Amino acid sequence: MKKGDLKGAFVLSAPLTGDPVVHQSMTRMTFAGIGVLVLVLIGFAGFSRYYIDKPLTKAIGTIHAAVDETSSASAEIANSSSHLADGAAQQAAALEQTSASLEQMSGTSDKNARSLHHVAALTNDARAAAETGAEDIHLMSQAMDEIQTASDNIAKIVHSIDEIAFQTNILALNAAVEAARAGEAGAGFAVVADEVRNLAKRSADAARETAALIESSTARSQRGVSISNRVAESLQQIARKVSTVDDLLKEVTGASQKQKQGVQQINLAMGDIDRITQSNAAAAEETASAATEMHAQMDALMESVALLERLTGARQVAEKASATAPVHQPSLAG
């Protein structure tokens, strides 16, 4: 054991608190600890303010503004969708009325087509009758021409008979003269000559009457031929006009058929438009319902944001951020 070493234990029986030095030391340590704690709290508060509260407050303000805008947008979407659904319903009703009108127009076109077909059939019958009448008139004109030719031949024959009667009368006169010269011997021959002369006279009279009748019949036949020719020409004009009317009826029938096809195509297009309109109306109603539900969810989110603002004390910042953003709250249409 060296000089100066201590061995054993020391027992301090006197309390240290009674020592003024110790008491001062403990007091200084206590204040120092409190100071350190205050500094730590101040540092934590500053850290929390700059690194937690400010970003959180900014985030809450941004969320508040976004929620306001989303709520406003959802309300506008719901309102627009409701108006769109109403417009689609009105458009569907108008399309139904238009379809009914087109159906009625199609029925009228069918009726017109049937009427035109019936008129075309009657026109064809009239044209056939006119053509047949013209042919009959032509045949009658030919027959009357043949009658005229026969009358001319008969007139020639009658003229020959008249000439024969004239010659016979001359011969009878000559025979009467010769019988008078013969005296009593020629008396009988004179009687015969006189009878022959009378017969020749009657033949000449009959020939002249026949010629007059033939001439009258010929004149009437000529008038009949002229009238027949005019009737035939009129019938031919009627046939041509009926043919023109038939062509026009065919054009009208074709146009009516095209109109019917166009109405049918319009009906098909209107059916497609009606289905699309019904689908748009259903989609608009679903969109309005979804927008209303989203608006309700935004209200719930706003309540959560307000609670968070109260917890963080960021109400003023959020209100300032909300005031800078344009917010519209349109009423929701049923």
| Predicted local confidence at residue 251, as pLDDT | 85
Task: Specify whether the CB–CB gap between 42 and 301 falls below 8 A.
Answer: no
| Predicted local confidence at residue 329, as pLDDT | 47
Chain segment 116-128, per-residue pLDDT in tens? 778 878 878 887 8
| Predicted local confidence at residue 313, as pLDDT | 60
Domains and CATH numbers, the chain: 24-324 (1.10.287.950)
Task: Specify whether the CB–CB gap between 179 and 194 falls below 8 A.
Answer: no
| Predicted local confidence at residue 332, as pLDDT | 41
Lowest mean pLDDT among 205-209, 267-271, 282-286, 324-328: 324-328
3-state secondary structure of 209: helix
Name the percent of the chain lying above pLDDT 90.
0
| Predicted local confidence at residue 312, as pLDDT | 64
Chain segment 61-111, per-residue pLDDT in tens? 777 677 777 777 777 777 777 777 777 778 778 777 887 877 787 777 778
| Predicted local confidence at residue 155, as pLDDT | 79
Closest CA to 287 of 69, 72, 85, 70: 85
H or E segment and range at residue 253: helix 187-312
Average pLDDT over residues 21-46: 72
Other Cβ atoms within 10 Å of 319 Cβ, number: 13
Indicate the residue type of 312: T
Gyration radius of the chain's alpha carbons: 68
User: Is residue 230 scored above 50 in pLDDT?
Assistant: yes
Chain segment 263-287, per-residue pLDDT in tens? 788 888 888 888 888 888 788 788 8
User: Is residue 233 scored above 70 in pLDDT?
Assistant: yes
Q: How many CA atoms lie within 13 A of 280 on its CB side?
A: 17
| More confident position, 163 or 185 | 163
Our measurement of the distance from residue 191's CA atom to the centroid of its chain's CA atoms, rounded to an integer in Å, reads: 107
CA distances from 6 to 1, 3, 10, 13, 14 (A): 9, 9, 10, 19, 21
Distance, CA of 213 to CA of 229 (rounded, Å): 24
**Residue 10 — very low, low, confident or very high, per pLDDT cuts 50/70/90?**
very low
Distance, CA of 30 to CA of 33 (rounded, Å): 5
**Residue 17 — very low, low, confident or very high, per pLDDT cuts 50/70/90?**
low
Distance, CA of 205 to CA of 202 (rounded, Å): 5
Q: Is 329 left (phi over 0), alpha (psi -120 to 50) or beta?
A: beta
